[in-house]
């Protein structure tokens, strides 16, 4: 490996030795940049990589709140403001018990590259809390969100840092967060959060954007390899925002989605998933996926037991991991390949372990990398921000058309960068290189900051 890259990687590992997800994300990017770094021997003098892997700011804070029994609970809040190189910090908030600094930093780091790929003026950030929304009442969720925002508000703003949703944070939570922000600031700054409900400044098609964007990217990738989505068997992990709308668009394109999951297990319906029922269970009832069997008694439910999700043992042409990081292990990757998988589309952030990605690439499975393939959500958030500034709304069709165009451009950037640097067909490297070049140029222009 190039000496400079090696040095930065070793320093990152020793400085952040307890943060395994963060190290994994940095390693994945740096190891693909070798040809670009080789061509620019001036980067080391200006510590370009060292600055790129060090967050501008990390904020952690206490979030006290009162549960329905009158008991005081305390959670930890985070906001990682990683890079403001090309715009205000932008990235979601995650509420999940697994949240820690390593996960926040890996997500924020990935976000910088993803946002650069969209071609829109947005920097990279991420935040959240180890709060678990599962099983909480609406009032508890509201009190938690209000307490979280009572600290976060001083660090964000429509030109400073613009959070959105992620795991455990949907339109309900964004509503409570926005209400509290507005109350504290005594000003209607619509662009301070995205993923808002349509009734007070949200964008049509934002809810659908990440899942739809993933399928648009997959369409382009398959097209470049003289293939298409129509008629393919698809499995999708998760049954949240990204998974549901990836399923909707894949079905619209003529694919047969046969399996979806949640953190307890997966359902397999050989007749094709009934998406209206999944929406009813997940978006309305906030229930568990196994309830699918109350209507479709001939479908199968396979409970999780152990590290590897059973969904990846199901035979499929296209696998779309849309739940969480590192959900596709090397064991799962081998099973998918053995069953003849053609393409992987990463809807979740870093859902494949480094070993799994390597195995897919080595066995000529097409990989649509998360930074590029799930960028449709944040791109549409930027479209929401611009509508808020203009005090104007686009129609659903207008937003979807813009999203489609952005995803086509992202795919072409990944493809062209991969071809230019001798790794044609490797969209993982292509995405990293294309984003890095834009960021490096901006970093050089802005001096030592």
**Contacts with ligand NDP, residue ranges (CB under 6 A):** 165-168, 210, 238-243, 262-264, 322-324, 347-349, 374, 377
Rounded CA gap, 80 and 84, in Å? 11
Active site residue 290: no
* Active-site pick, 126, 182, 282, 402: 126
- Helical ranges in 225-338 per DSSP H: 241-252, 275-279, 330-338
Question: C-beta of 70: minimal distance to ligand NDP in Å?
Answer: 27
- Cβ-based nearer residue to ligand NDP, 399 or 443: 399
DSSP structural state of residue 21: H
DSSP structural state of residue 326: T
Residue 374: name the closest of 117, 119, 151 by CA: 117
- Cβ-based nearer residue to ligand NDP, 229 or 242: 242
- Cβ-based nearer residue to ligand NDP, 9 or 266: 266
Question: C-beta of 286: minimal distance to ligand NDP in Å?
Answer: 8
Question: C-beta of 57: minimal distance to ligand NDP in Å?
Answer: 21
- Cβ-based nearer residue to ligand NDP, 374 or 426: 374
Residue 237: name the closest of 337, 314, 156 by CA: 314
Report the 3 state secondary structure along 381-440. Answer: HHHHHHHHHHCCCCCHHHHHHHHHHHHHHHHHHHHHHHHHCCCCCCHHHHHHHHHHHHHH
Question: C-beta of 206: minimal distance to ligand NDP in Å?
Answer: 8
Which residues are within 8 A (CB) of 409 and not within 5 positions of it... i.e. 6 or more apart?
119
- Which residue in the shown chain puts its C-beta closest to ligand NDP? 240
Question: C-beta of 374: minimal distance to ligand NDP in Å?
Answer: 4
Rounded CA gap, 130 and 78, in Å? 9
Rounded CA gap, 111 and 82, in Å? 9
- Cβ-based nearer residue to ligand NDP, 8 or 201: 201
Catalytic residues: 126
């Amino acid at each position: 490996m190039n000496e400079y890259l090696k040095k930065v990687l070793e320093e990152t590992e020793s400085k952040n030795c307890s943060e395994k997800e963060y190290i994994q994300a940095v390693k994945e990017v740096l190891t693909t940049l070798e040809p670009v770094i080789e061509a620019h021997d001036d980067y080391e003098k200006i510590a370009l990589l060292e600055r790129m892997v060090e967050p501008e700011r990390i904020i952690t804070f206490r979030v006290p709140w009162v549960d329905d029994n009158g008991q005081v609970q305390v959670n930890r809040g985070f906001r990682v403001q990683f890079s403001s190189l090309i715009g205000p910090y932008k990235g979601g908030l995650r509420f999940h018990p697994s949240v820690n600094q390593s996960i926040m930093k890996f997500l924020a780091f990935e976000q910088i590259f993803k946002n650069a790929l969209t071609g829109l003026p947005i920097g990279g950030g991420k935040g959240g809390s180890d709060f678990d929304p599962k099983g909480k009442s609406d009032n508890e969720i509201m009190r938690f969100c209000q307490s979280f925002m009572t600290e976060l508000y001083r660090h964000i703003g429509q030109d400073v840092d613009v959070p959105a949703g992620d795991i455990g944070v949907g339109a309900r939570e964004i509503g409570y967060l926005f209400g509290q922000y507005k109350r504290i600031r005594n000003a209607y700054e619509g662009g301070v959060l995205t993923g808002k409900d349509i009734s007070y400044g949200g964008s049509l098609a934002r809810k659908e954007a990440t899942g739809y964007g993933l399928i648009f990217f997959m369409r382009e990738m398959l097209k470049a390899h003289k293939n298409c989505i129509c008629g393919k068997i698809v499995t999708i992990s998760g049954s949240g925002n990204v998974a549901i709308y990836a399923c909707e668009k894949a079905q619209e394109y003529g694919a047969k989605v046969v399996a979806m999951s949640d953190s307890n297990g997966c359902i397999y319906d050989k007749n094709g998933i009934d998406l209206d029922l999944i929406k009813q269970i997940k978006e309305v009832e906030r229930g568990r996926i196994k309830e699918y069997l109350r209507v479709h008694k001939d479908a199968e439910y396979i409970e999780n037991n152990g590290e590897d999700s059973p969904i990846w043992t199901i035979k499929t042409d296209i696998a779309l991991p849309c739940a969480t990081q590192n959900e596709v292990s090397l064991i799962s990757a081998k099973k998918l390949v053995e069953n003849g998988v053609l393409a992987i589309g990463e809807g979740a952030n870093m859902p494949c372990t480094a070993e799994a990605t390597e195995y897919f690439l080595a066995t000529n499975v097409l990989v649509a990398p998360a930074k590029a393939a799930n960028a449709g959500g944040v791109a549409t958030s930027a479209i929401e921000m611009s509508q808020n500034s203009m005090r104007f709304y686009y129609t659903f069709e207008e937003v979807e058309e813009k999203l489609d165009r952005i995803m086509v451009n992202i795919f072409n950037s990944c493809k062209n960068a991969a071809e230019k640097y001798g790794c044609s067909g490797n969209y993982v490297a292509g995405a990293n290189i294309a984003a890095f070049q834009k960021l490096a140029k901006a970093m050089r222009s802005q001096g030592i900051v």
